Structure 1
Amino acid sequence: MTETSFTDFQAVLKRCGIDLPSYQGNDINVRSPIDGVELARLAAQPAAAMPAVIERATQAFEQWRLVPAPVRGALVRLWGEELRRCKADIGHVISREVGKIVQEGLGEVQEGVDICEYAVGLSRQLHGKTIVSERPGHRIMEQYHPLGPVAVITAFNFPSAVFAWNAALALVCGDPLVFKPSEKAPLSGLATFKALERAIEQFTAQFGNQAPQGLAQIVLGGSDVAEALVDSPQMALVSATGSSRMGRSVGPKVAARFGKRILELGGNNAMVVTPAADLDLAVRAIVFSAVGTAGQRCTSLRRLIVHRDVKQVLLEKLLKAYSSLRIGDPLHNDTLVGPLIDAAAFAAMQQAIAQAFQQGGKLLTGGQRLLEQQFPQGFYAAPAIVDMPAQTAIVQQETFAPLLYVLSYETLEQAIACNNDVTQGLSSCIFSNDLREVEMFLSAAGSDCGMANVNIGPSGAEIGGAFGGEKETGGDRESGSDAWKQYMRRTTNTINFSRELPLAQGIHFG
């Protein structure tokens, strides 16, 4: 990065509301995966300060839960407007800090705008049910009430959108927030959070002091800061995004104190391509799903399960598409694939390819490091395709890189079994124009993933649907549909408006 471009980046941070000197320290060294240049040195929140942070959130809950939900929605509307206004700048921070191409950085901020719009409408639809009672003169109803402080712990690959998914719903549901962004992407988290702070200021100017101090807080730091949030019984809900290994640590700790959790963990996502598929459409979906974000999405395509009759034709089309991929600086508009996040990610990719060789795999293309002379501290990898004889041990693991394994099948039942024969269960898809094949894949005997798509890849979910997966993916849901219920507590109320006291089940007492 030239001195001029670094100065420009500092100007972008300033427009996002980030005053770097106020966050300076020697705990977190932020480097751009584009070229390895240091972007910032930040101070971490001391673990000893976390009880005060958590207490502020607890006190804020006492006030925020009493604000009418549509008024809470007005705050989220203002946040969405701020995100829209600063979309280009926040997207630039994401691209610079995480290595996403420009369009993906902008798309991530748009997810925040979209979930805010969704949550504003939701603020007038936090409905319960009226239930018929078996007793005369009685009515049963359900209500949803604010839950309590929510901790949001995010990963580097979606440093803005995942926080927005959680924060927009939590705020309209009446819950304060403590946000702990990834140490690899704190600037992106700060840029998104600062937009929320500005929205709170505007909300206060319009509605008075209804947004309490401590309603939204951000803490920078490492695992000790995250552990303080996970272990605190005052944090009613912990939403954590990361690896399955991380989930094995967080889940039992939250469960031990009977807290609620949302875990969004690993994905080893597959696409089934049948003889009835539109192969050109499938190729487009494969390329985007397998190499988008340099394969660093939880929903990235990892396994391609192709019927043997169309495998050769599909691979020819796919290899041709891979040969034309534009790999390089993600800030250039014509780039399609940027760098991996760091050297460790590239090493993991190389190790996985080596294991695939040992397990009978054949490298069809890619895998090598690119642009090393131009970017000695940037780790650009040619997206790889490996033809595998079977779903071996390495194929059953998630490698967070643009590494696609190709498997073949003879019957749809075999393909579905292969799709399901991994420990992760996030996203899946089938490409077919055969109605019976499609319905089988979507049926109870089909894909066991939390998301199953038809003629569209496993990545690129919209905010209207619930996002999440089964098995080692965590079993929880974020974003749309009825995911909002996780941020609230449910009460069942029985109202007796009669002058008698009949008991349920026909019991007579006394």
Structure 2
Amino acid sequence: MQNTQLTYSPIDGSLYVERPLADRAQIQQAITSAARAQKQWRQTGIAHRAAICSAMLECFLARSDEIAEQLCWMMGRPIRYARGEVNGTADRARYMIEIAEQALADIRLPEKDEIRCYIKREPLGLVYVIAPWNYPYLTAINTVVPALMAGNGVLLKHAPQTPLCAEQLVESFREAGLPDGLFQFLHLSSDNAQWLAQQAQIDHVAFTGSVATGRKVEQALAGRFTGLGLELGGKDPAYIRADADLGRAVETVIDGAMFNSGQSCCSIERIYVHRDLYPAFIDRAVNLVKHYRLGRPDDPETTLGPMVSAGAADLVRAQIAEALAAGAEPLVDPALFPLEKPGSPYMAPQLLVNVNHKMLVMREESFAPLAGIMPVDDDRQAIQLMNDSEFGLSAAVFSRDLNAAEAIGQQLETGTFFVNRCDYLEPGLAWTGVKNSGRGCSLSSLGYGQLTRPKSFHIRP
């Protein structure tokens, strides 16, 4: 059995990180120490927990330069943007710390005949977080901080592509004074990652990743009555109404499609444009995409880095080839981006027209700097096409008529609906998906409900 985890950088294919994988004895030891620490931690007050979590953020931010460089080398994020995830992680964590006292407060019923009734929110116990590589800190912090604030212990497994992220978070908490064992990382093989989820001491699993792996996690937990939160794939649409601010719409949607090389669960992958604006939208969108600079992410001038691996890029190239064979038309000449070539993680951005929903590029998640664009006649057609997907994470409408746009949002099958915005998480809103985009939610006060259990008290004198 392989006992070493190797992480190769998409920048140049070099070996960047090598780590031993935990065996089952080490996993069991981690579970035992986390459970022991959690029994003490759950007795602490929210103010004490908040002080430690806030101190962790100071330790984390002090490493901003180091963390940004690691992100660049592990997953290809352009260095000019890498620090943004560090700051965003801190902002999101602060919000969840600030709302913890209110979110975890007792729910008290009016007294009747001197009978006191109330509901407490109690910690689940041990939370197992399985985090992805594309936004490794932001996705992990969604669960890690509220889980600890709620009185839980946490075991964290990051994707093999971003192992240093788990180590940075645990070290920052250690420096902040978090009790030993309460929050630990584990580098695991896929078999042992599944085995850990099945252990009786695990009370909740929070998984972010692909639909296929999400199904495996769900199947592994079948019949075990373990809590499960799933944030899975997306094929998120945007609709440009006839009354949209065209310049703003183009700039926002193209950024939503291309940022992080399109490797975001809520990136825009399908664009529907009212016929009245379609020609002008195409001209502006193509012109904007041509100004991206594809290059090494450690170059401060680079605005579009490599995809996470050559294999991931080639899968998307196959999607594009399938669409072109079926009649789609590419709008961007790959020759404008010299690093683009088969077998390379450096993939040129692309926009496709003459596409339809029989093509993979309009049905399956691409997770790449790629979007298909279709003209539509009216709101009704746009709604039908936006809902014609197995996914439902987020959707966006661009319009000057906010009432009309909001009415469209009421009809869309999605977890988050944007007007004149996309590809963004507001921590005060529940992050959730419908259909194959997931189950449960994170962030907001509702996110605390996923990480606690209600306990009712009925006290009669």
Which TM-score bucket, shorter chain as reference? over 0.9
Whether the aligned pair in 2 keeps the contact of 1:115 and 1:168 (CA below 8 Å) is no
Match of 1:487 in 2: 451
Q: CA–CA distance in 2 between the matches of 1:480 and 1:268? A: 23
- The normalised TM-score by structure 1 is 0.85
Whether the aligned pair in 2 keeps the contact of 1:419 and 1:447 (CA below 8 Å) is yes
Q: CA–CA distance in 1 between the matches of 2:24 and 2:138? A: 26
Q: What is the Cα deviation at residue 383 of structure 1?
A: 0.6
Match of 2:244 in 1: 277
Match of 2:368 in 1: 401
Q: CA–CA distance in 2 between the matches of 1:136 and 1:369? A: 78
Distance 1:247 1:26, change over 3 A: closer
Other structure's SS at 2:122 match: strand
Q: CA–CA distance in 2 between the matches of 1:180 and 1:64? A: 21
**Structure 1 residue ranges without an equivalent (≥5):** 1-24, 204-210, 498-510
Q: What is the Cα deviation at residue 225 of structure 1?
A: 2.6
Output one character per residue of 1:93-128: Cα deviation in whole Å (capped at 9) or x when no partner: 111111011243211111221133223323432213
Q: What is the Cα deviation at residue 369 of structure 1?
A: 10
What amino acid is the match of 1:194? E
Match of 1:413 in 2: 380
Structure 2 counterparts to residues 97-496 of structure 1, below 5 A:
97-125=74-102, 126-132=104-110, 136-200=113-177, 211=179, 213-366=180-333, 370-372=337-339, 379-394=345-360, 395-443=362-410, 446-457=411-422, 459-496=423-460
- The normalised TM-score by structure 2 is 0.94
Q: CA–CA distance in 2 between the matches of 1:283 and 1:412? A: 19
**Structure 2 residue ranges without an equivalent (≥5):** none
Q: CA–CA distance in 2 between the matches of 1:384 and 1:74? A: 47
Distance 1:45 1:353, change over 3 A: same
Q: What is the Cα deviation at residue 255 of structure 1?
A: 4.3
Larger radius of gyration, structure 1 or 2?
Answer: 1
Distance 1:341 1:60, change over 3 A: same
Q: What is the Cα deviation at residue 59 of structure 1?
A: 1.6
Q: How many residues align?
A: 458
Q: CA–CA distance in 2 between the matches of 1:405 and 1:70? A: 49
Q: CA–CA distance in 2 between the matches of 1:472 and 1:118? A: 28
Q: CA–CA distance in 1 between the matches of 2:79 and 2:339? A: 21
Q: CA–CA distance in 1 between the matches of 2:154 and 2:4? A: 23
Whether the aligned pair in 2 keeps the contact of 1:74 and 1:120 (CA below 8 Å) is no
Match of 2:53 in 1: 76
Output one character per residue of 1:377-419: Cα deviation in whole Å (capped at 9) or x when no partner: 8521111111134222411110121110111211201111111
Other structure's SS at 1:79 match: helix
Q: CA–CA distance in 2 between the matches of 1:40 and 1:154? A: 17
Whether the aligned pair in 2 keeps the contact of 1:451 and 1:468 (CA below 8 Å) is yes
What amino acid is the match of 1:319? V
Q: Find out whether 1:85 has 2:71 as its counterpart.
A: no
Whether the aligned pair in 1 keeps the contact of 2:339 and 2:347 (CA below 8 Å) is no
Q: Which moved more, 1:183-192 or 1:237-246?
A: 183-192
What amino acid is the match of 1:64? W
Whether the aligned pair in 2 keeps the contact of 1:90 and 1:192 (CA below 8 Å) is no
Output one character per residue of 1:447-478: Cα deviation in whole Å (capped at 9) or x when no partner: 21111000012x12132322221111112211
Q: What is the Cα deviation at residue 493 of structure 1?
A: 2.0
Distance 1:257 1:26, change over 3 A: closer
Q: What is the Cα deviation at residue 494 of structure 1?
A: 2.0
What amino acid is the match of 1:344? G
Whether the aligned pair in 1 keeps the contact of 2:131 and 2:158 (CA below 8 Å) is yes
Output one character per residue of 1:484-505: Cα deviation in whole Å (capped at 9) or x when no partner: 12111111222223xxxxxxxx
User: Where in structure 1 do 4 or more consecutive aligned residues deviate above 3 Å?
Assistant: 366-373, 375-378
Output one character per residue of 1:309-357: Cα deviation in whole Å (capped at 9) or x when no partner: 1111100000111111111121222211000111111111111111212
Q: What is the Cα deviation at residue 26 of structure 1?
A: 6.5
Whether the aligned pair in 1 keeps the contact of 2:129 and 2:206 (CA below 8 Å) is yes
Distance 1:266 1:386, change over 3 A: same
Q: CA–CA distance in 2 between the matches of 1:251 and 1:117? A: 31
What amino acid is the match of 1:289? G
> RMSD value over aligned CA atoms?
2.1
What amino acid is the match of 1:68? G
Q: Find out whether 1:45 has 2:22 as its counterpart.
A: yes
